């Protein structure tokens, strides 16, 4: 049996994959919600911060994208 995001809810790899899927489906807020915990689960996860910034900008929230 393969591990799933339900059996490993804090696995950053699963969260990043699901965030990518949400992004492709146009569910940008769900993608951001999945990426946010990965910033704490991985040391120096600047890629996730950059991705969240771009997603917030795509949603039109420039102020949030700068934070």
Residue 63 has pLDDT above 70, yes or no: yes
**Which has the higher per-residue pLDDT, 18 or 65?**
18
Topology given in CATH for the domain delimited by 12-66? 1.25.40
| Torsion sign across C-alpha atoms 32, 23, 29, 64 | positive
Are 45 and 39 spatial neighbours (Cβ–Cβ below 8 Å)?
yes
pLDDT digits (tens, 9 = 90+) for 35-53: 999 999 988 999 999 999 9
As a whole number of angstroms, the distance between CA 45 and CA 64 comes to 18
Identify the band that residue 10 occupies on the pLDDT scale cut at 50, 70 and 90: confident
The residue extents of the domains of the chain are 12-66
């Amino acid at each position: 049996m393969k591990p799933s995001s339900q059996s490993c809810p804090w696995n950053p790899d699963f969260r990043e994959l699901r965030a990518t899927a949400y992004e492709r489906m146009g569910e940008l807020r769900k993608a951001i919600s999945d990426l946010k915990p990965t910033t704490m689960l991985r040391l120096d996860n600047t890629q996730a911060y950059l991705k969240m910034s771009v997603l917030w900008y795509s949603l039109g929230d420039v102020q949030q994208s700068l934070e």
